[in-house]
Chain A
Amino acid sequence: MEVIDNMSFGWLLTIVGGTMTMCSLGVLILVVTILKKFQN
Chain B
Amino acid sequence: MANVNAPMAGKLLSIDVKAGDKVKKNDPVATLEAMKMQIKVFAPADGTVAEIKAEAGANIDPSVVIMTLE
State if A and B touch, Cβ cutoff 8 Å: no
